[in-house]
Chains A and B, each alone.
Chain A
């Protein structure tokens, strides 16, 4: 099914070999080559993902900023950031901004690989007290979705991530399988979804831990097309 070799592109996810092993199909986006499908149709994958799915979004765009002036700087540029830490704030273009602390925020970009908010901030003049954080290369980014996700993640993380306790837009900066991680509840309409952002050098380790935890629940790896189906985009 593979028709595009991610190894032929200069930007590669640390997980691409694992995706190749299962015959994933890749497409090129603005930010890199991502696995779009792991089976014949995205619809089938989407149905599986309603139960439990894992997808690699490492090459989807991300940006982060920190510093004592970072939040105000972003606000002045039109980014909506509320007062509460560990929350996501939706922008007018459906981008989400994750406020991590009084001095830091993160923008997980879109599946499509384009992200106007990220582009805008990266080209804006940086003030004193605003520093970029190389989130796109410092961290891997996975999404775990489906009804079984809380039960599965409970094997790896000590935070109560059940859907009625950890709501859409909630953020946890915690430890997952003994790695520092950021977990963002970011549903695909009626399907609970949790983005996981962790150390990119440990991406393979984390992926294996997730796969191991998933096996009990019959979860599967899905591509970004299935996520788009779930999102309705």
Chain B
């Protein structure tokens, strides 16, 4: 059984009666049909209280059945704030109400409503701020009471992604106007994407009644859907929310868990209009709903919205609602029409049902059941009569049809003007930008024929704008007719209050009046002070009455008061949807998997992954062992991540001379030379080596994280200087290893056609040749201070190179070593790492790198700044230090402070326990007068201890460089 209120077919467009769905609400089992929303299934089961209000914890039920209001926000296991009137049922769904303590039906916090006198508008700003410190106490209490739903930290991440889409004409809204626009644009040849937030196309045609036989809207819908289906150039996206329109007709469409980034040449906004609640006492009771909500329940879900109803209306739509109710078996106790003399073709039909017609009257209050959980009647009073003459009509359903506001949010996003129009008694859109078109009820046209004509007109204009041939004989539609449908001010104050203007925030009429009295007359200030329109509904139902109340309170014309700014998004959007599938590029060396197979612990280096060290166990011990292997035998490290740049052309030397601090004019072919790059302010930004492969060809290395910046700088300067030189970034094209240690030569000499003897291939020489049939560039370098060869090969040969070397070195114990051991080894040699031992202000003199500056050449980037710095006194200096009293367990960390007389005088940049020297060594910035060798300075450890460091000449190890130059 899916509920006592379930109606027989044919009503129930969206439900599949052959598929029953079981779900739980508030711990109780219910059944619905496939296609039901949570709310429709609950209503079918006569369950009307779905959630509680935010401030006063008032029971709330369906209001719009369109997902536009906060009345039906419910909690799912892994998701709060779900619109129960939009979320489709799924098997086993577990649903709870929100904003209650205890149970939804017996909320322990419902007493808050009795405190409303103490919670006036703006009470946040009036209370809690004194005495000083009081807010801290209040805030925990308020936070405990406030908030919507609960976020489950156990929620698994949903898969969301994004896609790009393109079309000539995007039509947003699949109602009568949207369908007609899409068909017309497609007829003119445009590629059309038709977007609708609902499951079924048709908009109000799916549920509204436009004639006595109820057949007109159905037939029109079927005809239009058939035409859409015939058009191959219309792509239909249903259950898709156009959540914002941005620059250049970029439409953000949320389609399931996907954010579709749609680019359209032209856009037709046919988003319709939103029916508005009337403001009267207890207008928020469950059982009080929009007329359109009742029709949605009947036609879309086959649910009877009540047993005995009153229809409160200001237009002829209300009569259609009454007829629909009658036909589904609901007794209509009365139609209360605010108009004195309504003319309506449906009136005779209602009279056939003996429906009481009360004209020229207003509903001034809903009467609640003793429990306060449902409407049980209404108070009605004739206009211009005192409230004491009000009379009651019993009912369990009150349908309100007193007017509309355009769903103009998307048009606001693109800068259209939306302001109150006195002649239409609602907001009206004007000044729509070029390339954006609108049609139908969003332009305050409600007559079905006019709406359709407007759609065709807009579709044609959009297709023409998109470059397709204009269609002839399409006439502009009739002017807006909303005045026939909108009550001029459906606000009926009651001496006992509780006339809610904003259901999200439980704002009553007097709250807005009080806010105006407090001086917040400007509509944006009124919004922020009162929180009008700041809840989940974003003013969909409160904006119009808010403006009308403010207008009446201030005496200003509502069209002058304006309207609060409407910004994207149109509806709530999940962070996961915005984030989409994360794209985080990762760069891997060709030898990456060999490192993993060898047990490497990988670490990020920019976008790259590099082996920090190999194996498990004590990290520091492993690193020291790796370093000792290099010092005493042979080690192999992957240096593929180093940047590589080919500098080619007749002006290569001149180019390098300008880009780097050294001089390269006399660098011989087959030799490498250190390169140090500074920026225009003289700050060190990168280093590496330049290998001269021919007169006009240098292969320049750069740091892993710096190469992209170096490359871009080179391109920029090359464009300025117009030298005959080409710069190519070949970082990924070449991979490399550094085979280092006294036995390194023994490993490679049998593998290569290059003579690697000391005499033929000296320190800092460069050779090209082959190693194990792999084309290679060989460099004698000394970063780790041992005999060593950097071997660079094309990347697709990288893994084979690693295999060949590891295999050849196996017999003599070749050891792979990681970045951490390399850092230790270079520290022993006193070599700096750019970015670790330098910072964003370090110039060469501070880093003791004056030796790398050529003073003979006229210019290099940063030369003028360095020249100035050289003439100034240097405030700090990078020095080497040892800590004689420290052991391997008391090594300072990077960035720990150098302290002098209680003040900071510098910081440590690198430090380690050297296994070969058996002492703690490091680099630190100290004040210039502390930098003299054998001076001491104090380092403060993280735990507050202090250690004494002695300034030491660099390098710490093998100062004569004999080991690397053998």
Contacts and interface: CB of A to CB of B under 8 A. Distances in A.
Nearest to B798: A12
B646 interface: yes
Interface stretch (A43-51, A105-113, A188-196, A201-209): A201-209
Nearest to B258: A155
Contact of B794 (A133, A134, A157, A201): A134
Interface in B256-296: 261, 263
B164 A204 contact: no
A127 to B, nearest CB: 12
Contacts of B726: 66-67, 131
Contact of B733 (A14, A165, A200): A200
Contact of A160 (B166, B587, B730): B166
Given A66-B728, A154-B165, A155-B163, A202 B796 contact: no
A128 B724 CA distance: 9
Given A134-B730, A204-B586, A129 B724 contact: yes
A199 B608 CA distance: 12
A206 B682 CA distance: 38
Interface string B580-603: 010111111110010000000000
Nearest to B726: A131
Contacts of B724: 128-129
Contact of A200 (B581, B795, B799): B795
Nearest to A70: B726
Given A131-B728, A134-B733, A212 B796 contact: no
B588 A138 contact: no
B777 interface: no
B773 A133 contact: no
Given A154-B163, A165-B166, A178-B583, A137 B800 contact: no
A11 interface: yes
B797 A10 contact: yes
Contacts of A131: 646, 648-649, 726, 728
A114 B937 CA distance: 66
A205 B586 contact: yes
Given A10-B800, A155-B163, A137 B733 contact: yes
Interface in B333-373: none
B587 A9 contact: no
B774 interface: yes
B796 to A, nearest CB: 5
A136 B646 contact: no
Contacts of A129: 649, 724
A162 interface: yes
Contacts of B588: 14, 201-205
A133 B165 CA distance: 34
B800 A12 contact: yes
B494 interface: no
Interface in B692-721: none
B581 to A, nearest CB: 7
A128 B725 CA distance: 10
B608 A201 contact: yes
A28 to B, nearest CB: 14
Contacts of A134: 728, 730, 733-734, 794
B772 interface: yes
A13 B796 contact: yes
A17 interface: yes
SS class of chain B's interface: helix, strand, loop or mixed? mixed
Given A137-B734, A199-B732, A201-B587, A11 B797 contact: yes
B227 to A, nearest CB: 23
Interface in A142-176: 151, 154-155, 157-160, 162, 165
A32 interface: yes
Interface centre among B166, B728, B732, B797 (most CB of A within 10 A): B732
Interface residues of A, number: 43
A183 interface: no
B583 A201 contact: no
B795 A201 contact: yes
Contacts of B799: 7, 12
B650 interface: yes
B255 interface: no
Interface in B739-785: 772-774
A12 B796 contact: yes
A24 interface: no
A18 to B, nearest CB: 11
Contacts of A67: 726
Contacts of A9: 800
Contacts of A155: 161-164, 581
A11 B586 contact: no
A58 interface: yes
Contacts of A199: 585, 587, 732
Contacts of A209: 583
Contact of A14 (B165, B583, B590, B731): B590
Contacts of A136: 794, 796
Interface string B159-193: 00111111000000000000000000000000000
A59 interface: yes
Interface in B626-640: 640
Interface string A118-140: 00000000001101011011110
A177 interface: yes
Interface centre among A10, A11, A209 (most CB of B within 10 A): A10
Contacts of A14: 588, 590, 795-796
Contacts of B800: 9-12
A1 interface: no
A179 interface: yes
Nearest to A103: B726
B719 to A, nearest CB: 12
Given A154-B163, A157-B164, A178-B583, A138 B796 contact: no
B182 to A, nearest CB: 19
B186 to A, nearest CB: 15
A200 B798 CA distance: 12
B166 A138 contact: no
B594 to A, nearest CB: 10
A10 B585 contact: no
Contacts of B164: 154-155, 157-160
B881 to A, nearest CB: 37
B800 to A, nearest CB: 4
Given A129-B724, A154-B165, A177 B585 contact: yes
Nearest to B800: A10
A139 B607 CA distance: 16
Given A66-B726, A129-B724, A178-B585, A10 B162 contact: no
Contacts of B797: 10-12
Given A59-B796, A129-B724, A131-B728, A202 B648 contact: no
Nearest to A9: B800
A215 B325 CA distance: 48
Given A155-B161, A155-B163, A202-B585, A133 B728 contact: yes
Given A10-B773, A158-B261, A201-B588, A137 B166 contact: no
Interface centre among B166, B649, B726, B774 (most CB of A within 10 A): B726
A131 B796 CA distance: 21
Contacts of B166: 160, 162, 165
Nearest to A58: B796
Contacts of A128: 649-650, 724
Interface centre among B164, B608, B649, B773 (most CB of A within 10 A): B164
Interface of B: 161-166, 261, 263, 581, 583-590, 593, 607-608, 640, 646, 648-650, 724, 726, 728, 730-734, 772-774, 794-797, 799-800
24 contacts: A10-B773, A10-B797, A12-B797, A128-B650, A131-B646, A131-B726, A137-B732, A137-B733, A154-B164, A155-B163, A155-B581, A157-B164, A160-B164, A160-B166, A178-B583, A178-B585, A179-B585, A200-B732, A200-B733, A201-B640, A201-B732, A202-B607, A204-B586, A205-B587
Across the A-B interface, give the 4 residue pairs with the lowest CB-CB distance, nearest first.
A138-B733, A201-B587, A10-B800, A137-B794
